[in-house]
Structure 1
Amino acid sequence: MSEHYLEDYQVGQVYGSATARVEGERIKSFAAEFDPQPFHLGEVGAAGTVFGRLAASGWHTAALTMRLLVEGRLRPAGGVIGMGFDELRWPLPVRAGDVLSVQSEILEVRESKSRPDHGVIRVRFTTSNQTGEAVQVATGSLLVRRRPSNLH
Structure 2
Amino acid sequence: MSALLYAEQLRPGTVFDLGSTQISKEEILDFGRRFDPLPLHTDEDAAAASRFGGLIASGFHTTAVFQRLVVDAVFSRAAVIAGREITSLRMRAPVRPGSVLHGSMEIVEVRARDDGTAVVHSRGTLANGSGTVVLELEGTTLWAHRPPGGIEDGGGLDR
- Superposition TM-score, scaled by structure 2 size: 0.86
How many positions carry a matched residue from both structures?
A: 148
User: Which residue in the other structure is 1:133 paired with?
Assistant: 132
- 3-state SS of the aligned residue for 1:52? coil
User: Which residue in the other structure is 1:12 paired with?
Assistant: 13
Q: Which region of structure 1 is more displaced relative to structure 2, 23-32 or 104-113?
A: 104-113
Alignment of 1:36-75 (within 5 A): 36-73=37-74, 75=77
Alignment of 1:73-152 (within 5 A): 73=74, 75-78=77-80, 81-113=82-114, 116-149=115-148
Could you tell me whether the CA contact under 8 Å between 2:80 and 2:141 is conserved in 1? no
1:76, 1:141 → 2: CA distance?
14
**How high is the sequence identity, in percent, across the aligned residues?**
36
The runs of at least 4 consecutive aligned structure 1 residues that moved more than 6 Å come to none
Q: Which amino acid aligns with 2:94?
A: P
Aligned-residue CA RMSD (Å): 1.7
Query: Where do 5+ consecutive residues of structure 1 fail to align?
Result: none
User: Which residue in the other structure is 1:32 paired with?
Assistant: 33
Distance 1:2 1:49, change over 3 A: farther
How far does residue 2 in structure 1 lie from its aligned partner after superposition?
4.0
Query: Where do 5+ consecutive residues of structure 2 fail to align?
Result: 151-159
How far does residue 117 in structure 1 lie from its aligned partner after superposition?
1.7
